Structure 1
Amino acid sequence: MASGDYKKDYRMDDNSTDSGIDSFRSILKDAEEPYGKLVGDPAEDTECADKFCNATDERLDSAYGSSSLSVDSLSEIVQDCSISTAAEVHASTPTRLSEQEENFLTTITEDGDTILHLAIIHEDEHFAHQLIQWFPKDVLDIQNNLYQTPLHLANYLSLPSVVQSLVEHGASLEPQDRDGNTPLHVACQHGWVDGATSMTRDVSPSKLIPVLETQNWKGLTCLHVATLNGHLQLVNLLMKKGADLNIQEGTSGKTALHLAVEQHDLHLVALLLQQSANVDAAMFNGCTPLHLAVGRQDAAMANLLCQADADKMVRNTENETPLDLADGNDDILALFPFDDIQISGRSVVGMKF
């Protein structure tokens, strides 16, 4: 996705500005390690800082050093400016930031973006890497007005090296954007296996499991999102990382198996069943995956579930069995042989009336 497409799709108006970080500027000042100055040609550094300061003459006085600066107006600045790499910082004599440099690094745009957000939005990976090395860990998790962290944006724009660098420098997987999505939700939504792999590779189960169990505002976990979008590789990855196959989404109580049945995805249903997903898991209304398959007249899906020993006689809250939903479909009725019908737990075959 191009940066222009990103801005068109995601730069919506929102009045929420609480990122959870009390002061971007104070974080920079209080960081344990002092910072080197902007490096490169002195004339170029001065020109870069001057451009930025001229653009922010009307800075607003807030905890973040907010400004009326827009993403577009910073495009040239992001492309022209560069700061030192970590090696260059350590090689030089450490010194505190000048006021001009501090203004550059701590300015927040009208959209709530830091300079790191902007570097990622403009897909300037080199500049983003420099900023990631420069900024303290807490700054990496600052959220913009849409509650997106730099890690959210790197996943939206599929920037693998930036995702890797953010994770290596301690960016959190937990922040949720305005839709409740974590960065891992974003990767699952877009089917980005490389990004999901980078974010989960070296994370301990104790830290990863809570992320895998996090629901967005639609009640969906990462596994639910990957399932709904038919991303087989991602579902497989999440299962290997310990995702609960039987966790219910928050609106109707569907598991990943219910969702895969609704999508008529035989391959995904087969994978979930192979990994011991509960074939008789019930939604809040008591419907099992077999109820859904029969109700959608999907004979192939119903057959697959029956082969996995799905309970054909379980009743939902409307007192309906899957058979009650067959609606005369001969292919589905063939899955319910007469000798499988029971009354009070006893087979009809052989009973005397």
Structure 2
Amino acid sequence: MASDNCRKDDFPEENRTDSGIDSYRSFLKSEEPREPSADFSGPRDKYSGGEERLDSAYGSSSITVESLTEIVGECTLSGAKDELARISELSEQEENLLTTVTEDGDTILHLAIIHEDKLIAQQLIQLFPKEVLDIQNNLYQSPLHLATYLNQTRVVKDLVDKGASLELQDQDGNTVLHVACQHGQTECATEMTREVSPSKLAPVLEIQNWRGLTCLHLAALNRHHQIMSDLAKKGANLNIQEGTSGKTALHLAVELHDITSVKLLLSRGANVDTAMFNGCTPLHLAVGRQDATIANLLCQSGADTMLRNMEDETALDLADGNDDILALFPFDDIQISGRSVVSVKF
């Protein structure tokens, strides 16, 4: 029933991300494997049991920071800038080495980022053409995805400046901006959007992951207020609906009882009366959750108290005798069971 949806805290599951980065961390800087972080709850079929991942395509043992440095050093990456900028100057053997992928689909740039060797990563970014920068591994993660997960802001900046794609989606449908919005990587998000024209950024902001969530939805779900504000300034559609139940960021903020997000969205011009697929407005949700403070804020912002959901219920019908909420609704009209019958005129 729609009324149940209006009352129930059924916003999408939070904090689901790709599985790959935790497995990567198990061998960062040649450390012992670690237990997967609780922050990462995505599928783990490829890395069950927390075993150490081996990048066998580059040899019979796990790649270490030292071996990465040796591999890159053999390609004279410390030479002149002109040599760094033109892959055509590499020998065929060097080019094959640098563009080889591991059995997990990682390029040497993926590995440099995984090992958090930022200097090598930055050198490789200058060396590689855009097509190599956008190679996705078996989890559909580009180097930019990994740099964002690990909050390597400078690497993110270099990749974006070189033209790395913002539209590629990983195995959960997340773009790199989705990742930044979910994990609160504010500086990474800023670097991704700083120099991008509105016409190029608009389609990125409209992309939904496989759970139907845009970047703004993820920022709202995770209470990342600065990122929400930045996305609004960049022209994000504040009224865009997620794909499963038609909630806007304002619906999600109301469900979370997040008054800061509610105020932010309303001040930026979010539509206070946008309805979910079942007809519930943010006011329906606030009243159904007995949140008088947010319900009052919505009413002050012009929420229509007489809108009905698919069950033909107004927000007043969901008040359940809560005096604080009932006090918000005017009684200028004669009503029967919450339905306005006729205005009283003398």
Same fold (TM over 0.5): yes
Give the equivalent residue in structure 1 for 2:325. 332
- The aligned amino acid for 2:241 is Q
Q: Give yes or no for the alignment of 1:191 onto 2:184.
A: yes
Separation of aligned partners in 2, 1:342 and 1:239: 39
Considering Cα pairs closer than 8 Å and 6+ residues apart, tell me whether 1 or 2 has the greater RCO: 2
- 1:278-289 matches, cutoff 5 A: 278-289=271-282
Give the equivalent residue in structure 1 for 2:17. none
Give the equivalent residue in structure 1 for 2:98. 105
Percent identity between matched residues is 64
Deviation at 1:341, TM superposition (A): 5.9
Q: Give yes or no for the alignment of 1:156 onto 2:177.
A: no
Separation of aligned partners in 2, 1:311 and 1:257: 15
Separation of aligned partners in 1, 2:216 and 2:231: 7
Deviation at 1:184, TM superposition (A): 0.4
Deviation at 1:11, TM superposition (A): 9.2
Contact kept, 8 Å, 1:342 with 1:348, in 2: the verdict is: no
Q: Give yes or no for the alignment of 1:301 onto 2:294.
A: yes
Give the equivalent residue in structure 2 for 1:218. 211
- The aligned amino acid for 1:78 is L
Give the equivalent residue in structure 1 for 2:261. 268
Deviations 1:30-82 (A, max 9, x none): xxxxxxxxxxxxxxxxxxxxxxxxx96xxxxxxxxxx3868933544114443
Deviation at 1:330, TM superposition (A): 1.2
Deviations 1:136-190 (A, max 9, x none): 1111100000000001101000001100000111101000000000000000001
Separation of aligned partners in 2, 1:335 and 1:71: 68
Deviation at 1:107, TM superposition (A): 1.6
Q: Give yes or no for the alignment of 1:205 onto 2:198.
A: yes
Separation of aligned partners in 2, 1:345 and 1:11: 51
Separation of aligned partners in 2, 1:349 and 1:87: 86
Relative to 1, partners in 2 of residues 1:86 and 1:312: Cα closer, same or farther, differing over 3 Å?
farther
Relative to 1, partners in 2 of residues 1:348 and 1:87: Cα closer, same or farther, differing over 3 Å?
farther
Report the RMSD for the aligned CA atoms in angstroms: 2.8
1:73 aligned residue (63, 68, 74): 63
Give the equivalent residue in structure 1 for 2:227. 234
Separation of aligned partners in 2, 1:98 and 1:12: 38
1:166 aligned residue (138, 141, 159): 159
Helix, strand or coil at the partner of 2:241: coil
Give the equivalent residue in structure 2 for 1:90. 82
- 1:138-149 matches, cutoff 5 A: 138-149=131-142
Separation of aligned partners in 2, 1:173 and 1:91: 27
Separation of aligned partners in 2, 1:144 and 1:252: 32
Relative to 1, partners in 2 of residues 1:140 and 1:122: Cα closer, same or farther, differing over 3 Å?
same
Helix, strand or coil at the partner of 2:280: coil
Structure 2 residue runs of 5 or longer lacking an equivalent are 1-20, 29-35, 48-54
Give the equivalent residue in structure 2 for 1:249. 242
State the TM-score, normalized to the length of structure 1: 0.78
Separation of aligned partners in 1, 2:256 and 2:190: 25
Separation of aligned partners in 2, 1:89 and 1:336: 69
Give the equivalent residue in structure 2 for 1:46. none
Relative to 1, partners in 2 of residues 1:104 and 1:68: Cα closer, same or farther, differing over 3 Å?
closer
Contact kept, 8 Å, 2:99 with 2:132, in 1: the verdict is: no
Structure 1 residue runs of 5 or longer lacking an equivalent are 16-54, 57-66
Relative to 1, partners in 2 of residues 1:143 and 1:70: Cα closer, same or farther, differing over 3 Å?
farther
Name which one, 1 or 2, has greater alpha-carbon Rg: 1
- The aligned amino acid for 2:198 is P
